Amino acid sequence: MGKNGGVSDQPESEILLRGRVVTPTDVLEDGLLVTRGATIAWIGPAGEAPAPWNERLPETSDDTVLPGLVDLHCHGGGGASFPDATTAQEVRRAADEHLRHGTTSLVASLVTAPADELLTRTALLAEAAEEGVLAGIHLEGPFLSHARCGAQNPDDMLAGDPGLVRQIAEAARGYLVTMTIAPEVAGVTAAETSADADGEADADVIAALVRAGALPSIGHTDASAEQVEAAVDRAFDLLAGATSARGTRPTATHLFNGMRPVHHRDPGPVMACLAAASRGELVVELVADGTHLAPATVVSVFDLVGAAGIALVTDAMSAAGMADGDYQLGPMAVRVADGVARIVGPDGRSGAIAGGVAHLLDVVRSTVAAGVPLVDAVRAASTTPATVLGLADVGALAVGLRADVVVADEHLRARRVLRAGVLVD
């Protein structure tokens, strides 16, 4: 590529990237990142680059160099839907849509469906995860609140069933990352038993998830603050004692959306989740795409919780990267108009928001436009979700980590993407 656009190819599979480099703690206004093979070899101010890189620096540029982004909640993109996929090609099509726009680690999300369908879809996604197409699997349901079903089919929602959790975890082959649960649903949470998460007893769905190496995620819930607090406490305590846990903190699925709203005499799940996140006991997802949440809401959560407790997500469905029109999300018909996806009711009218249509880099851009510092927005879209996945080799620009890199223009739109040091086509 030569010396233009702040990029220079080098011998031995070295690539030099120059521009505004976003580290975990700072922005290097004129920084240099060097990748060698699949890893990051050096990072720092361009003027301090050691030999031999100081002898072949790329020209200065307006590029912004970010870590590859990590999306914990995505239902599809590029016209393909994970909940509706029946072939590996469909799964890859959806994943590639987000990879080309900077998401180098993607968790595929399913929606509530009959048990046999969930098992079949989970097995298909597990094959893609084994091939490195996906970073994991998230199930949004089926143990959710009918009152807060959102774009999900309430007819397929079930009472908590630890046995079904075990079946899903087996089909996932170790790639089940999270499952969205409503604490007030019978069987989801229970009083602690004498057996811990690695013992023989699966008293409830939360215990079964932790024992399977997955994280419970509070969402689609009409629970009281007290019910949520009890569920978070149980999940946090079980994770602390589980040798199979990928992380120490449960999560909250798209905070605010699909939850009982806040009232000063009825704080509900939102306030309980915010309090837990501020204590370092929970990670909250935010769909900060400019549609799901007001900009002031996004800024307030960052101020209250901090980027270490926030995972920016897309909640994207198949229309991500596509034109307005009619799409499908599981059994639900969806219409996208003016860039907003909504369920189509029996009368043909639009109803609840049905996921997002943005890429995660779009969410970062919206978050920064709302007033969140770039370093914090990037951390919430890379480092924090990587900790949720239990991955130590991705999620930041640091020496020795995998060379997952996004080169964006001055408007934070992807120009080039590297995954493990390889340029994405």
Annotated binding site for substrate: 151, 257-258, 265, 292, 353-355
Q: Which residues pair with 216 in a beta bridge?
A: 179
Q: Which residues contact 233 (CB under 8 A, 6 or more apart)?
A: 281
| Amino acid identity for residue 302 in this structure | F
Distance of alpha carbon 298 from alpha carbon 175, whole angstroms: 30
Binding residues: 140, 151, 220, 254, 257-258, 265, 292, 353-355
Q: Which residues contact 327 (CB under 8 A, 6 or more apart)?
A: 79, 81, 317, 318, 319, 333, 334, 335, 336, 341
Whether 129 contacts 135, CB under 8 Å = yes
Catalytic residue of the set 156, 161, 222, 315? 315
Distance of alpha carbon 357 from alpha carbon 19, whole angstroms: 29
Binding residues for Zn(2+): 140, 220, 254
Q: Which residues contact 264 (CB under 8 A, 6 or more apart)?
A: none
Catalytic residue check, 315? yes
Structure tokens at 232: 């978070």
Write out the DSSP string of 143-207.
S--GGG-TTS-GGG-----HHHHHHHHHHHTT-EEEEEE-TTSTTS-----SS-TTSS---SHHH
Distance of alpha carbon 239 from alpha carbon 215, whole angstroms: 8
Half-sphere exposure of 4 (CA within 13 A, CB side): 1
Distance of alpha carbon 381 from alpha carbon 235, whole angstroms: 23
Question: Where is 48: in which H helix or E strand?
Answer: none
What does each C-alpha distance from 336 to 98, 160, 256 come to in angstroms? 18, 33, 22
Q: Residues 234-240: contacts with CB within 8 Å, 24+ apart?
A: 234/189, 234/192, 234/206, 234/207, 235/206, 235/210, 236/276, 236/281, 236/282, 237/192, 238/196, 238/197, 238/206, 238/207, 238/210, 239/197, 239/210, 239/215
Residue whose token pair is 């540029």: 61
Q: Residues with catalytic annotation?
A: 315
